[in-house]
């Protein structure tokens, strides 16, 4: 247990150092963090660390989303809530469908697993979008729209993922009508 805590602490310090250097060098931090993660993965005899999905969903994700949401004012969000809602729902669902269809056409994945893959890859990363938004000279309304959509699409993607995994575990196949009903039910309770 203590060994695992030390590894996680090392990874947090490494991530902080990489993000700090990325800011100094003018490189997007998410890109450099991915490269650092790949480098760490190739360390010989590195121990495997298993983190429960609930830890990510309840401990890691909320502070990241909060930090991104802190940059958006409620007044600005009220001005763009309609397109944000359309994009956060419609675009995520459409992206998941395109990814699932592509995975079905190009790989040997089953329909249920292609649906899970689509749900996982459908949303954008709010931290990366916020970092990119700081660097690009976007008009204020567009920046608020993009940042807000990237925050809210996570909720759609998480609910879609929950539905996809439940469908994959229950029957091994995708029931479109049942999935839509489960999506609406999960979205209402989340």
In the chain, what are the helix, strand and coil shares in percent, each to the nearest 5?
80, 0, 20
C-alpha–C-alpha distance, residues 141 and 80, integer Å: 8
* 31 plus 122 within the same structural domain: no
Same-domain status, 76 and 20: no
Compute the distance between CA of residue 177 and CA of residue 32 in angstroms, rounded to an integer.
42
**Predicted confidence band of residue 106 (pLDDT cuts 50, 70, 90):** very high
- Those residues whose C-beta lies under 8 Å from the C-beta of residue 92, and which sit 6 or more positions away, are 122, 123, 153, 156, 157, 160
> 46 with 135, same domain?
no
3-state secondary structure of 137: coil
Q: Which helix (H) or strand (E) holds 30?
A: helix 29-41
Asked whether residue 42 falls in the same domain as residue 70, the answer is no
Same domain, yes or no, for 46 and 66? no
181 vs 144: CA distance, rounded Å = 31
Shared domain for 35 and 112, answered yes or no, is no
CA 146 to centroid of chain Cα atoms:
15
Interval 81-109 mean pLDDT: 88
How far is Cα 153 from Cα 89, in angstroms, rounded to an integer? 7
User: 37 with 91, same domain?
Assistant: no
Looking at the structure, tell me whether residues 70 and 148 fall in a common domain: yes
Q: What DSSP line would sit under 89-109, residue for residue? A: IIIHHHHHHHHHHHHHHHS--
Percent of the chain whose pLDDT exceeds 90? 5
Q: Are residue 27 and residue 86 in the same domain, yes or no?
A: no
Listed residues 50, 67, 91: the one ending a domain? 50
Give the pLDDT mean for 128-154. 74
Same domain as 84, residue 45: no
163: left (phi over 0), alpha (psi -120 to 50) or beta: alpha
Instruction: Look up residue 14 and give its DSSP letter.
Output: H
Which band of pLDDT confidence, cut at 50, 70 and 90, is reported for residue 128?
low
Is 140 in the same domain as 87?
A: yes
pTM for the full predicted model? 0.61
Domain that includes residue 168, residue range? 53-189
**E strands within the chain?**
none
Q: Kindly state whether residues 6 and 94 are assigned to the same domain.
A: no
Number of domains present in the structure of the chain: 2
């Amino acid at each position: 247990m203590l060994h695992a805590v030390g590894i996680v602490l090392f990874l947090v310090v490494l991530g902080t150092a990489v993000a700090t250097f990325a800011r100094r060098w003018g490189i997007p931090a998410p890109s450099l963090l991915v490269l650092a993660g790949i480098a760490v993965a190739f360390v010989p005899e590195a121990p495997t660390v298993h983190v429960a999905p609930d830890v990510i969903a309840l401990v890691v994700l909320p502070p990241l989303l909060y930090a991104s949401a802190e940059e958006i004012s409620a007044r600005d969000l009220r001005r763009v809530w309609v397109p944000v809602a359309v994009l956060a729902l419609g675009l995520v669902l459409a992206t998941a469908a395109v990814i699932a269809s592509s995975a079905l056409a190009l790989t040997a994945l089953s329909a249920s697993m292609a649906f899970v893959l689509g749900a996982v890859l459908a949303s954008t990363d709010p931290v990366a979008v916020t970092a990119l938004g700081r660097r690009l000279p976007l008009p204020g309304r567009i920046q608020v729209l993009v940042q807000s959509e990237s925050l809210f699409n996570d909720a759609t993607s998480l609910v879609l993922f929950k539905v996809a995994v439940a469908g994959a575990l229950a029957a091994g196949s995708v029931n479109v009508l049942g999935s839509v009903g489960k999506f609406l039910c999960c979205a209402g309770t989340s």
